[in-house]
């Protein structure tokens, strides 16, 4: 017992000594690009693989809509970067397949940081330079982050009014690293995304438009006044905005509109209204019937029809990736789906490589006017939350670390020793008392494992 307390005390001291680095250079750097990610791993040998497996982790349990899950995952990833932990992600199951590992592969996030640290330890003979065999379980909301409200700032205003100063640059850098890795290295449908871009985006200046209209969704979506009251009038106004926006493009390439929406009737309306003005395309997919809501639900709760469920997740994620490749991204309606991966990657594309400098735009609720931004700092410091959200909520969907940085001491208090108890593990599809291993198994492996467990229980029963 005394040994355990001493070990915990040493770990606790090690964590709280990690102060947030100076972030000013990141916040004011023009691209916030990341040149190292998990795909850069050299082939992992057995010794390194073992160290990774015992490395401490954040076990993150996601909830709710797709955009919400990615947005909160970015919070968890930021914490992991500060603690030098990996991130094991649980989105729920499609039949026997865990969703996140189906979309982005079986290995935990942030391994590259740990590989670098472990390798350095090997070189110096320090075999224990990582915190081993501990975990923090986090469900949905990640502690230590604040909601932000952007008020804009006139040119003469004090820059301290910006809600993304202090730790903002470091946070943006972390988000870019995570989302770049997911999109460019891990996403299982990268070939489909690239083929779609090659066939339809090439030779055009692409406007990516995301419209979260609800498709008849009720509950919180209606309560928060997120529905479009008059869809026809809104589409007419949006069409006018898109034409006006396209006239500002410097390139002579024809504009092309890529639309991602949970409500296909909006896509077809815009295609009709913009005929002869710009081509309108969407990613062909099996959609939920008109007026029947959306696919994703609460904690671990996804559509459980295996193949249909996996395809739904894959199609929605493909829309997200395609939006992030647009030359200018337009948030037709405010949504965490847009403010997570697509906005982050669009606004972090090197400005020298862009066709449109101000590459992310927000639209007011009635689609009568728009505001555009050229990087993440511009969006956070010069944008205004009430411009697009004033009838819905007071804060943006994106959150930032508390002023002064994360309280790593508070996070360290949540540390638990492995092995995980049944209430602390990422469960299998068939049993909440069985824990998934460090590297998420695929559906076939889970089924084989389940059959072996049943066989063992059957043999025990016979022997008794």
Q: Model confidence over 22-62: pLDDT tens digits?
A: 333 333 433 444 444 554 444 557 778 888 888 899 999 99
pLDDT digits (tens, 9 = 90+) for 95-111: 888 899 999 998 999 99
The total of other beta-carbon atoms located within 10 Å of residue 436's CB is 21
Nearest Cα residue to 315 out of 340, 356, 281, 285: 285
Q: Which residues contact 25 (CB under 8 A, 6 or more apart)?
A: 169
Higher pLDDT, 419 or 42: 419
Q: Where are the beta strands (DSSP E) in 157-240?
A: 205-211
H helical segments located in 125-219: 168-181, 190-196
The label of the residue with tokens 């007419």 reads 236
Q: In this predicted structure, what is the pLDDT of residue 82? A: 92
Residues constituting the chain: 464
Lowest mean pLDDT across 166-170, 196-200, 350-354, 375-379: 166-170
- 88 pLDDT above the threshold of 80: yes
Higher pLDDT, 440 or 363: 363
**Residue 89: both structure tokens together:** 């992600």
Q: Which residues contact 61 (CB under 8 A, 6 or more apart)?
A: 90, 137, 138, 139, 140, 299, 300, 426
For residues 143 and 402, give the distance between their C-alpha atoms in angstroms, rounded to a whole number.
10
Q: In this predicted structure, what is the pLDDT of residue 350? A: 96
Computed over every residue of the chain, the mean pLDDT equals 80
**Any idea where the domains of the chain sit in the sequence?**
2-169+404-443, 191-396
Are 446 and 454 in contact by the 8 Å Cβ rule? The answer is no
Q: In this predicted structure, what is the pLDDT of residue 332? A: 87
Average the pLDDT over 357-369 and give the result: 92
pLDDT digits (tens, 9 = 90+) for 281-331: 999 877 654 544 445 544 444 545 678 889 989 999 999 999 999 999 999
Tell me the whole-structure pTM to 2 decimals. 0.83
Q: In this predicted structure, what is the pLDDT of residue 2? A: 43
Q: In this predicted structure, what is the pLDDT of residue 29? A: 39
Higher pLDDT, 138 or 225: 138
Q: In this predicted structure, what is the pLDDT of residue 309? A: 87
Residue 345, CA atoms < 13 Å, CB-side half-sphere:
22
Higher pLDDT, 118 or 352: 352
Burial of 352 from C-beta contacts in 10 A (0-12 / 13-18 / 19+): exposed
Q: How far apart are the first and last CA of the chain?
A: 37
- 79 pLDDT above the threshold of 90: yes
Question: Taking the domain 191-396, which CATH number applies?
Answer: 3.40.50.11350
H helical segments located in 247-305: 264-273
Q: In this predicted structure, what is the pLDDT of residue 44? A: 58
Q: In this predicted structure, what is the pLDDT of residue 18? A: 44
* Alpha-carbon distances, residue 307 vs 13, 91, 96, 299 (angstroms): 47, 16, 10, 20
Q: In this predicted structure, what is the pLDDT of residue 249? A: 93
Residue 386, CA atoms < 13 Å, CB-side half-sphere:
2
Average the pLDDT over 173-182 and give the result: 97
Q: Provide φ and ψ at 14, rounded to 5°.
A: -60, -40
- 412 pLDDT above the threshold of 90: no
Average the pLDDT over 55-82 and give the result: 93
The total of other beta-carbon atoms located within 10 Å of residue 456's CB is 10
* Alpha-carbon distances, residue 366 vs 73, 233, 259, 265, 275 (angstroms): 31, 9, 18, 18, 22
For residues 297 and 184, give the distance between their C-alpha atoms in angstroms, rounded to a whole number.
27
Average the pLDDT over 207-225 and give the result: 62
């Amino acid at each position: 017992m005394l040994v355990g307390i001493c070990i915990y005390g040493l770990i606790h001291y090690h964590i709280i000594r990690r102060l947030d680095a100076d972030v000013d250079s990141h916040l004011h750097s023009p691209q916030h690009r990341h040149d190292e990610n998990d795909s850069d791993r050299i082939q992992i040998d057995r010794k390194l693989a073992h160290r990774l497996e015992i490395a401490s982790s954040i076990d993150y349990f996601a909830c709710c809509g797709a955009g919400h899950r990615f947005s909160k995952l970015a919070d968890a990833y930021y914490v992991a970067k500060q603690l030098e932990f990996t991130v094991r992600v649980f989105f729920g199951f499609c039949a026997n397949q865990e969703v996140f590992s189906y979309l982005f592969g079986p290995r935990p996030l942030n391994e590259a940081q740990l590989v670098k640290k472990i390798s350095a330890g090997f070189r110096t003979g320090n075999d224990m330079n990582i915190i081993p065999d501990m975990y923090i379980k986090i469900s949905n909301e990640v502690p230590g982050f604040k909601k932000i409200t952007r008020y804009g700032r006139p040119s003469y205003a004090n820059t301290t009014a910006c809600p993304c100063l202090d730790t903002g640059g470091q946070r943006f850098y972390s988000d870019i690293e995570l989302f770049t890795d997911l999109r460019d290295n891990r996403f299982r449908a990268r070939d489909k995304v690239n083929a779609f871009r090659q066939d339809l985006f090439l030779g055009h200046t692409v406007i990516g438009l995301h419209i979260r209209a609800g498709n008849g969704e009720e509950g919180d979506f209606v309560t928060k006044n997120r529905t479009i009251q008059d869809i026809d009038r809104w589409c007419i106004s949006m069409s006018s905005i898109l034409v006006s926006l396209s006239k500002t493009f410097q390139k002579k390439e024809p504009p092309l509109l890529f639309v991602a929406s949970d409500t296909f009737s909006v896509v077809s309306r815009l295609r009709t209204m913009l005929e002869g003005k710009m081509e309108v395309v969407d990613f062909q997919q099996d959609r939920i019937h008109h007026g029947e809501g959306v696919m994703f639900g609460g904690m671990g709760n996804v559509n459980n029809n295996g193949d249909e469920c996996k395809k739904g997740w894959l199609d929605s994620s493909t829309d997200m990736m395609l939006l992030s490749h647009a030359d200018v991204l337009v948030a037709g309606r405010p949504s965490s789906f847009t403010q997570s991966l697509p906005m982050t990657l669009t606004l972090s594309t090197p400005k020298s490589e862009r066709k449109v400098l101000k590459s992310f735009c927000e639209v007011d609720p009635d689609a009568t006017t728009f505001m555009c931004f050229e990087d993440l700092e511009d969006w956070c410091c010069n944008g205004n939350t009430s411009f697009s959200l004033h009838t819905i909520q007071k804060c943006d969907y994106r959150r930032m670390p508390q002023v002064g940085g994360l309280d790593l001491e508070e996070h360290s208090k949540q540390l638990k020793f492995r092995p995980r108890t049944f209430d602390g593990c990422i469960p299998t599809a068939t049993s909440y008392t069985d824990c998934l291993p460090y590297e998420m198994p695929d559906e076939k492996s889970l089924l084989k494992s389940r059959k072996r467990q049943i066989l063992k229980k059957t043999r025990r029963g016979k022997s008794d």
